[in-house]
Amino acid sequence: MTAEAQHDRTAIRSRYAELSVVRDGDGYVLGSPYSDNFVAVPDLGGRVVQWLQAGHDPATCAELAARYAGEPVDVEGFLAGLVSARMLPAEVGSDVGSDVAVAEPRAGAAARIRGRRMGRIVFGRTGLATQCVLSVVAVVVMVTTPYTRPTYSDAILTGVPLLSLIAVAVLGTASALVHECAHLLAAAAAGVPGAVSISRRLFTIVWQTDLTRLWSVPRRTRVVPLLAGILSDGATIGLLLLAEVALDPPSPALHLLRTIVFLKVAGIAFQLEVFMRTDVYALFAVATGCRNLWATKGAVARRAVGLATEEDRAVLVAAGRREIGWARVYLLLYVPGVAWSVWYFAVFVVPAIQKIIVMSIDAVAGAGLFSLTGATGAAALLLTVVVGDVVVDVAVQEPLAG
């Protein structure tokens, strides 16, 4: 091979090296540092990219593809499609003759993934084994020691309503962030970056971790990052329950421990609500091999009631028979899922809110509105009413079949 030919092969390899090519079912999923989106392509499309990454030029790839498919293949058109999807850098766009806007690297795409070393410690074999053991301990302690099981009263940390609301809000926020940090660390250990943001699920405002880049790794590798939050919560509960059992006689710290356990158990219960886009939903999608389960589910539901749009029909065509079948199964989880959510809200949230309201009113009536106790009681009452109104509004706006 001449030096010029070797140079050309090296240039071709470097142009396509940043594309991730992951086998997924009967095709491949392509990812790129130039886009937040991933593209599902047939088996031949993935092979073409692999040939390009090996240094074959587009013309040679077209010959290999024709030989593989038994008919001519438009490799140049395929590459132009990747450019239009903003999956390839500018120089590749010019090579394939596309006149679309060229892709620019995403901010921080090439940056070093933070927390990778810590992630490998916490979610390596030893770390995972430790967290699994502590999670099992949590279950065993709650089954064998009834007084350690959380109740709604554990959500009320102090006798001062406003202070209790603020304390639980702070603890709940910290608990949720620890949960999301577990996702980030596990993803970093797998070589995948993530980002935390705020969103909502039905009537709940939540932190969420964007783990879209997990599509760039094999399906089996996605499991631990998706499970990391629940596993972290379970391990924390195990540690706290062991501490609670050891506190004999009970100390002032016991109520704080029980409040954190309540929040962690509530967090796991929420993640089990697979009818929303929770961690278990993501694990369900991975286990079933679905690529666009949420949109397919909505399209199937709207088609069933005669409200399908053109976009829905396009989603169903792209999904295929297998994913549509799983979308139907997923739809069957909605009724019990909503029932569970209503039960949890009625058994845990409503009694806690009612108690805070009663405590707030008693504080105002007993000490007077212009006393410190009465003023904090009035503030707690107002905060409870405002938060309750937001919760109801969010619940009404969340499209179950969206």
| 84-128 tens-digit pLDDT | 888 886 554 444 444 444 445 554 444 467 888 999 999 999 999
On whether both 144 and 235 belong to a single domain, the answer is yes
On whether both 243 and 179 belong to a single domain, the answer is yes
pLDDT band at 259; cut points 50, 70, 90: very high
Q: Give the per-residue pLDDT at 255.
A: 84
On whether both 87 and 123 belong to a single domain, the answer is no
Q: Is 70 exceeded by the pLDDT of residue 399?
A: no
Share of the chain above pLDDT 90, in %: 33
Q: Is 50 exceeded by the pLDDT of residue 3?
A: yes
- The predicted model gives 235-241 an average pLDDT of 95
Residue with the bigger pLDDT between 332 and 373: it is 332
Q: What is the mean pLDDT of the chain?
A: 82
Residues 6+ apart with CB under 8 A from 167: 157, 158, 259
On whether both 58 and 183 belong to a single domain, the answer is no
- The predicted model gives 308-328 an average pLDDT of 90
Model's pTM, two decimal places? 0.75
Spatial distance between the Cα atoms of 391 and 156, rounded to a whole number of angstroms = 19
pLDDT tens, residue by residue, 161-190:
677 778 888 899 899 999 999 999 999 999
pLDDT tens, residue by residue, 20-52:
999 988 889 998 888 888 888 899 999 999 999
Secondary element (H or E) of residue 282? helix 279-288
What are the CB-based long-range contacts (under 8 Å, 24+) for 286-291? Answer: 286/219, 286/222, 286/223, 286/226, 288/323, 288/326, 289/24, 289/25, 289/219, 289/322, 289/323, 290/323, 290/326, 290/327, 291/24, 291/29, 291/40, 291/319, 291/323
Residues 6+ apart with CB under 8 A from 199: 205, 206, 207, 208
Report yes or no on 130 lying in a domain: yes
- The CA–CA distances, whole Å, from 307 to 269, 296, 304, 312 equal 33, 14, 8, 9
Report yes or no on 328 lying in a domain: no
On whether both 187 and 69 belong to a single domain, the answer is no
Q: Give the per-residue pLDDT at 344.
A: 73
On whether both 79 and 129 belong to a single domain, the answer is no
Q: Give the per-residue pLDDT at 108.
A: 44
Which of 62, 95, 128 delimits the end of a domain?
Answer: 95
On whether both 147 and 267 belong to a single domain, the answer is yes
Q: Is 70 exceeded by the pLDDT of residue 264?
A: yes
Strand-strand pairing, 204-210 and 20-24: unpaired
On whether both 48 and 153 belong to a single domain, the answer is no
For residue 90, what are the domain limits? Answer: 3-95
SS3 per residue for 212-243: HHHHHCCHHHHHHHHHHHHHHHHHHHHHHHHH
Q: Give the per-residue pLDDT at 393.
A: 53
Q: Give the per-residue pLDDT at 184.
A: 93
Report yes or no on 183 lying in a domain: yes
Report yes or no on 108 lying in a domain: no
Q: Is 80 exceeded by the pLDDT of residue 287?
A: yes
- The predicted model gives 259-284 an average pLDDT of 89
Q: Give the per-residue pLDDT at 392.
A: 52
**Domains of the chain: total:** 2
On whether both 129 and 210 belong to a single domain, the answer is yes
On whether both 196 and 238 belong to a single domain, the answer is yes
Q: Give the per-residue pLDDT at 5.
A: 62
On whether both 129 and 222 belong to a single domain, the answer is yes
- The predicted model gives 44-71 an average pLDDT of 92
Residues 6+ apart with CB under 8 A from 209: 180, 183, 184, 187, 194, 195, 196, 229
Q: Is 70 exceeded by the pLDDT of residue 339?
A: yes
Q: Are 324 and 312 in contact (CB under 8 A)?
A: no
Q: Is 80 exceeded by the pLDDT of residue 146?
A: yes
- Residue 292's φ and ψ, nearest 5 degrees, are -145, 55
